[in-house]
Structure 1
Amino acid sequence: MDAALLHSLLEANCSLALAEELLLDGWGPPLDPEGPYSYCNTTLDQIGTCWPRSAAGALVERPCPEYFNGVKYNTTRNAYRECLENGTWASKINYSQCEPILDDKQRKYDLHYHIALVVNYLGHCVSVAALVAAFLLFLGLRSIRCLRNVIHWNLITTFILRNVMWFLLQLIDHEVHESNE
């Protein structure tokens, strides 16, 4: 289906839904018919929230969307959008009051995830500490130097470098763990 056609159908449905709401709740504040920019037209935003025709300069509130990206939101709160004086909608919509409703399963998942994250960091710390201790032993004890131990010393050095790089990556990009959720 063509994107423009889909958008026009959604706008028509938005207008019909708002007309029904206005008939049930009353017509709201009268709009001043004088002037070319006395109101903002009914429109949909990118999320799908339907913004009704409103007087210029008004701050319009609509209930938060029930679902967005598969996450359920609290619909008792409101989103806000301003109808500017020139009759256009402000590009920024305030959805800051809209909070996701997390069920116990999600909260338990978040707790388990953070515990696993702490265990991961602790494991890397213990690993680096043990590897540094082994490296220092190989460095300090000249009596145990042989080809086999030099090979192990090089192996320990690579593990130390790998763990140090892992810590540097975590410092540079701390969003790595959040993107894995």
Structure 2
Amino acid sequence: MKKIALMGRSEAGKTTLTQALKGEKIHYHKTQYVNNFDVIIDTPGEYAQTHGLGHALALYAYEADIVGLLVASNEPYCLFPPCSTCTANREVIGIVTKIHAPDGKPERAASWLRLAGCKKIFYVDSKTQEGIPEILEYLKEDGDVLPWETKPEADGKKRANELPQEESQ
């Protein structure tokens, strides 16, 4: 799986998205330092909001295959200036979070990400899992098996990547 570095302001939903991508139970956790997991780098929002700490984000981008810029649909403004993705030597995708927030404007957030230079935009609600499979599919590399690809179908049929019973013993 491609490694992704998640960047955005505080409360944009980076840690919640991390939990959703890892299949964990969603619970609030304030990120106070960079969490460099196996395929996800979760960064504190203060790094994006503070000029002096922003340089650290560039360093963590080098450790990832893809950079994900997050903007919550209910944010009043965007931290990322126009054409800011051109400074990265990695692919940069946009992720609009909190798409079902009552005061959210997902299309406005997506337009800010497009102005920043994101060519690919994902819309997610980490609490309902909406949009999570699309991001996982995008990060998938040849040979990766996603969680839902290993479970038998509800009607008892096996998926293509499961071994027949006699071969698995």
Q: Which TM-score band (shorter chain)?
A: under 0.3
User: Larger % of helix: which?
Assistant: 1
Greater relative contact order (CA < 8 Å, ≥ 6 in sequence): 2
- Structure with higher Rg: it is 1
TM-score by length of 2: 0.24
